Amino acid sequence: MRIRPLEPRLINQIAAGEVVERPASVLKELLENSLDAASTRIEIDIEDGGKRLIRVRDNGHRIHKDDLALALSRHATSKISSMEDLERVASLGFRGEALPSIASVSRLQLASRYHEADGGWVVHNDGSDRVNEASPAAHPPGTTVDV
């Protein structure tokens, strides 16, 4: 068999196998993202042991509306732009690092609002490579991930 590049969807699902072993793994990744976003309040909702719903809402650093869809794409982060940055990472992860993997095997909604803004923005992903554009949403300051 010849060597060939993998399709992006397959790459995401392989990565998801490393990140998303079970619902508890998803929750761990989302909690680490909230902690790294300097959240002082984190709310968690779980339904059916995480098989039906995992929701993590925090009051940490928000995601800009123009970056919401990008946060669901692989290899996109606000914390690293050079090799030196990579060597100095001193966090649990980066908000968005695991999101593409989680989104590739679930239905995911990502909403965020700046503290000083009048409203928030939301994007949806249905497990495909397609992410809709951000649309306005009623949302408290901070970020919510529904899986």
Query: For residue 57, what pLDDT is reported?
Result: 98
pTM greater than the 0.85 cutoff: no
The answer to whether residues 12 and 104 touch, using CB atoms and an 8 Å cutoff, is yes
Mean pLDDT, 10 residues at a time, the chain of 147 residues: 74 65 88 90 97 96 88 68 64 64 88 92 86 91 96
Nearest-angstrom CA–CA distance, 10 and 7:
5
Nearest-angstrom CA–CA distance, 104 and 97:
13
Nearest-angstrom CA–CA distance, 24 and 2:
38
Query: For residue 93, what pLDDT is reported?
Result: 58
Query: For residue 52, what pLDDT is reported?
Result: 95
